[in-house]
């Protein structure tokens, strides 16, 4: 059951994403991430997701998008069509900044967000992305995803205060490097 969170309570939405991230199985090759899409005008959660929730090497944001495609009877390979069904004022919350690069060959989450767009012309899109921590550089090096999103007019906002907990959950299962 989804929690009742007051509109604009970014800390509580991020905390809820953190509880979703905890459902992800710990692995040495993934970050455990939780995400949700919110209709900010109605303060309604549209979809939630977490790393590896769905089959394949799925990221949290990708799971949100796939669930929405299914809910609206759209083909699983048509994320760009989500703009047809997303409200004008859609916000993405994610515990870790969306990935700008995937080593698995899957489409990075930043590219998925850009395919959906930020809305306009009567279509919905993702206007803002709230993140709990910037993506660590462990797997892909410098993440240029934030620059790409902001360059497309999508605001990226850091929600401070949960960084330590988010990183602890995100890196569970990782092998500590010896000095």
Whole-number pLDDT of residue 138: 57
Whole-number pLDDT of residue 143: 66
Whole-number pLDDT of residue 177: 60
Q: Over range 77-94, report the average pLDDT.
A: 92
Query: How close are the terminal C-alpha atoms of the chain, in Å?
Result: 44
- Name the most confidently modeled range: 74-78, 98-102, 117-121: 74-78
HEC per residue, 27-64: CCCCCCCEEEEEECCCCEEEEEEECCCCCCCCCHHHHH
Q: Would you place residue 87 in the very low, low, confident or very high pLDDT band (cuts 50, 70, 90)? A: very high
Residue 179 has pLDDT above 60, yes or no: no
Indicate the range of 5-19, 128-142, 144-158, 164-178 predicted with least confidence: 128-142
- Residues 115, 12, 54, 46, CA torsion sign: negative
Residue 147 has pLDDT above 80, yes or no: yes
* Residue, of 141 and 65, whose pLDDT is higher: 65
Distance CA 55, CA 46 (A): 20
| Domains, the chain | 13-170 (3.40.140.10)
Residue 156 has pLDDT above 60, yes or no: yes
């Amino acid at each position: 059951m989804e929690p009742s969170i007051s509109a604009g309570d970014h800390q509580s939405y991020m905390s809820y994403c953190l509880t979703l991230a905890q459902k992800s199985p710990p692995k040495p090759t993934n970050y455990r991430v939780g995400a949700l899409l919110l209709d900010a005008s109605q303060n309604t959660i549209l979809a939630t997701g977490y790393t590896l929730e769905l089959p394949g090497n799925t990221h949290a944001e990708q799971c949100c998008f796939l669930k929405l495609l299914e809910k609206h009877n759209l083909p699983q390979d048509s994320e760009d069509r989500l703009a047809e069904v997303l409200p004008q004022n859609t916000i993405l919350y994610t515990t870790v900044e969306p990935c700008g690069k995937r080593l698995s060959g899957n489409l990075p989450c930043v590219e998925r967000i850009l395919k959906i767009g930020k809305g306009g012309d009567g279509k919905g899109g993702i206007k803002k992305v709230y993140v709990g921590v910037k993506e660590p550089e462990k797997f892909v090096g410098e993440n240029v995803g934030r620059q790409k999103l902001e360059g497309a007019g999508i605001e990226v906002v850091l929600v401070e205060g949960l960084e330590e907990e988010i990183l602890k959950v995100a890196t569970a299962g990782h092998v500590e490097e010896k000095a």
